[in-house]
Chain A
Amino acid sequence: MSVFAQLALNGVVAGSVYALIALGFALIFTSSRVFHFAHGGVYTFSAFAGYTALVTLQLGVIAGFLAAIVVAALIGVLINILLYEPMKAGAVSPFVAMIASFGVLIIITHVVAMIWGSNPVVLSRGGQTTVYRFGAVYTTDAQLLIIGFAIALAGGLFVFFRHTRLGIAIRAMGNDSELAEVVGMPARRLRHISFIVGSALVGVSAMLIGLNVGIIDFNMGMDIILMATVAMIIGGLGNVAAAAGGGFVLGLIQNIAIWKIESKWQLALSFAILIAVLLFRPSGLFGERRPAAGL
């Protein structure tokens, strides 16, 4: 029983990690309809920016987080301004933008390797890790922080998109950008805001996750963005909180499956679930009944 409880807790931690990345990814998808794979690159780059401030320059934890957030927001909004917006203006579908986004992911990933090297580096804030024990289950302060932040963020964004004017405006714009502009919404600016907020969130997440794992490397954004994609589709497209839900479900399944299946099959299992959801329940587990456009 205690094994199961520990696996479930590990699942919640992994799920929170996926949820954190999926939240920003889904926020950007909701506003622009682009599968912004370069988000994984923003994640990696911001983690290394935080590493430079925290470890190399010894500026402290807050400066580390700030560096990650600012760099992430800047890269995110630049990608939108330089790439997605001109494509949208040229009536190119979000599908082509998605392919371009792969290119940006590759560029950022390998630029990181050129700047910081291709070997993993240690990301630590120094001092001791506090370990908490609940019965037979162990967790750390960094893990609790990740879980708390993921839940608070998912809840906050759920309320934001349901009950605030700005949130509803962003959703409306995602559904039909032209119509939103016709009724007087500043569509471009709303998308910029989404990219800034979504990318800033991934900056925070990158630091939280990096500090929890303890090491970061240039390739980490590739894997995590695939998991965020799986999470978003399992959860349900076009609904930011659902993406977080998908992240938790994915993390739990992956970790509880370790009970019966070797951990090396985690990735294959996740993608098998992705394909099953795409084929048999395209609206996702928590998504709106009407599937997202194009599905």
Chain B
Amino acid sequence: MGHPLRAIFEPGFFTSAPVHVALLAGGVVALVSGIVGTFTVMRGQSYAGHALGDISATGGSASFLIGISPLWGFAGTSVVAAGIMDMIGVRRPRGRDLATGIVRGAGLGLAALFLYWDTTRTSTTGAPVTILFGSIFTIGSSMIPVIAVFSLVAVGIVAVLYRPLLLSSVSTDLAVVRGVPVRIAGALCLAAIALAVSLSAITIGAILSTALLVGPAATALRLTSRPGLMLTWSAVIGVAATWLGVLLAYDSYYWPPTGRGWPVSFFVVVLILIFYLLAQFAGKNARESRNEEPACSQAS
């Protein structure tokens, strides 16, 4: 490796096993979040996705107490919570927000208790940071198959339901008239969102998983009006933010004051924000140069 690249890739980046796992797992997770996130944003379920991320912390923090991988805990609670949220009042937007808020509050309360036990009863003093803010460099390579299966299920759901979900996001009535079972489709979509946030909980943490779910999709929304392209952009942006975040976190071990690397989650979230702002700016310029009028003539 030549000198110029040294400045970007600090020594050992390409040979470190944890970095390999982080790039692979982080890349796959970002891909899933980007794709599922597109439907989350389209269906106006960002708050539900955010709440499911928070709730996954409950299972994640409990996993240390019973000695299983946090991923099982994350996925277990968020999928169950998705089921509960689907059962209680999802029809009306306000009822949906209330149900979501209540389930989310209870979940975070339990997480507080479990994290307290994690730090006092067991010796995992790093549990709160690992659960809430992620720990991409400590993902064991044994978890890769589980990550792969969860990813396939989440992406599989939205791929199969692509058109029905698209149509029911436009109008439930239009979808019902065309024979779409909107209730089942909605429940499955929520399950896919739950899986996606649990996956990003292991890379950037339960609290921040919503950033990877909503951020790339929101950015993609500024770049295109085509649903297929939005999926692609969203996935690309998520993966780029994760890989760059891993690189910067690795490099940060060599930054002053030396010896302490910065968290990957920080870089990923900041990069997503930068991408979003750039897209917002680019989108605005493009609109102005096309002289596009905003929505009009909707009187009364």
Physical interaction between A and B: no
